[in-house]
Amino acid sequence: MIAITVRIRAIGIERLQEMQDSGRGGIVALWHGATMLPIFYCRHRGLWAIISRSQDGELQNRLVMSRGYRTIRGSSGSKGLRAFLEAARRIAEEGAVIAITPDGPRGPAKVVQPGTVLLAERAGCPILPLGVACHPAWRLGSWDSHMIPKPFSKAVLVFGEPIRVENCESDKDRKRCADAVAEAVNKADADAEAALFAEVKRNVRAL
């Protein structure tokens, strides 16, 4: 209900459309603490999401499926490998575009975990960074400082330049690739913040 009231502007949304139209699939990467508005904005686009098998995950699974997402159930625990393999197969065989929070489900916040890099490497697909900015908004006291937009706020989503994970031959290579993914998502966040600030500033001047 809150998201319905938010004025959302999407920059670079054509990059997501191109990824879907390519038939080769891909990964959309955004931070765990900024998922609410993208889930709302990208509803009914046929995207996939990996959802944990926890009790909280069950609630989230029902929510995203009601918004037209398709889901793969898994986590970083015992079911993680199964979810990883299914995600790689969906991308390679069906051209699926899968939304991932690379710092989830338990953090640390804004630190890319190895699974995202391994998935992109195995599936041979690009990663599309997604940045989110919203004002005004609440921040929860959770590990990810989850963003909840205030009613009638303004938001900007930035779909950044897709990046590719080259074949990694060592853990050091994968760490370097993970850092590159984090840098790309952080840049998309910064671009979203800048665009939102410019919009708010223009509106203030118009008053």
- One digit per residue, the tens of pLDDT, for the chain of length 207 reads 899 999 999 999 999 999 999 999 999 999 999 999 999 999 999 999 988 777 777 888 998 999 999 999 876 444 577 888 999 999 999 999 999 999 977 889 999 988 899 999 999 999 999 999 999 999 999 999 999 999 999 999 999 999 998 778 888 888 999 999 999 999 999 999 999 999 877 776 665
**Looking at the 3D structure of the chain, how many domains does it have?**
1
What residue numbers bound the domain in which 76 lies? 2-206
DSSP β-ladder status, 70-73 and 147-159: unpaired
Each as own residue / partner, the long-range contacts of residues 170-176 (CB below 8 Å, 24 or more positions apart, any chain) are 174/114, 174/117, 174/118, 174/121
Please report, as a single letter, which amino acid is at residue 78: S
Cβ proximity of 150 and 137 under 8 Å = yes
CA–CA–CA angle 36, 55, 118 (5° rounding): 65
Neighbours of 199 (CB within 10 A): 17
d(CA 70, CA 64): 8
φ, ψ of residue 6 in degrees (nearest 5): -85, 135
**What pLDDT score was predicted for residue 78?**
43
H/E segment holding residue 17 = helix 13-22
CA distance from start to end of the chain: 28
**What pLDDT score was predicted for residue 204?**
67
To the nearest 10°, the Cα dihedral for 109, 115, 116, 117?
A: 120
H/E segment holding residue 187 = helix 171-206
